[in-house]
Amino acid sequence: MKSIKILVLFLALTLINNCKNAPKKGEPTSSIITFKEDATPFTAPQKELILEVVLESEKEIRSLLPTLPDSINVSLEIVDWDLDVVGGVTGRTETNSPPVVLVQISEKFPGGVTKATQTALKHTIFHEFHHLSRGWAIQDNVYGPGISIAAINEGLAVVFSEEYTGESMEADTPPEAAIAEQWVEEIRALPLNANYQHWMFQHPDGRLAVGYRTGNYLIRKAMAKSGKDVIELSEHTPDEIYKMAGY
């Protein structure tokens, strides 16, 4: 009987607390954060750190991108992948309806899951949430196919994250200008059905993340020539951004 009373009291307190913390009418709701633990479970301190990073990042992003969906499902899992070039964290935006972002954190990163979270989770959240605001998701892509479009949309997310988190990743760093210009020409000449994995991740000739790195270069060139910041650029189509960059 005593245990039942304690359980009832706990549930009552939880309900009261949830009501106090619930968003007021008209206010955006917070992310719904879940942890996939089929393989390696998160520790309690890791979960606490992740919750803090995601929710604080969301708060900052909402002040910058008012078109962000009201509620976002963020699912995280621990993987044993080598993600050193992206700070130990990677992610993808699955769909805008409902908004779903999947995040993988590497336990192989030096310092483990905690260090990876501290290093790159904020950077990844800013990147993926920009995709949601932009309408660039795997299952809900409002801009159509093609590596030339992917380069612009990924470039916008890369630059947005770099500008507002102060963090940059090796995998997103553009090559020197002369090489970047060659990559732009290559990408713009590709057919719509060009292999996404080859151009955005690992090319058969050994190049890595050509689309991401070229996109970073293109967006920064468009910013310099147009005088617009990355948020202003994000209101334009890929074709308009190419024109602003001088193509």
Query: What pLDDT was estimated at residue 4?
Result: 34
Query: What order do you get walking across the sheet with 73-79 strand by strand?
Result: 32-36, 73-79, 99-106, 89-96
Query: What pLDDT was estimated at residue 16?
Result: 33
Closest CA to 170 of 47, 54, 80, 88: 88
pLDDT along the chain (247 residues), means of 10: 34 35 46 89 97 96 92 96 96 91 97 98 98 89 91 97 95 95 97 96 96 98 98 96 97
C-alpha pair distances (Å), 102 with each of 77, 124, 151, 180: 8, 10, 20, 30
Backbone angles phi, psi at 76, to 5 degrees: -120, 145
Query: What pLDDT was estimated at residue 29?
Result: 52
From CA 112, how far away is CA 108, in angstroms rounded?
Answer: 6
pTM above 0.95, yes or no: no
Say how many Å lie between the first and final Cα of the chain, rounded. 75
Query: What pLDDT was estimated at residue 17?
Result: 37
Contact by Cβ (8 Å): 147, 195: no
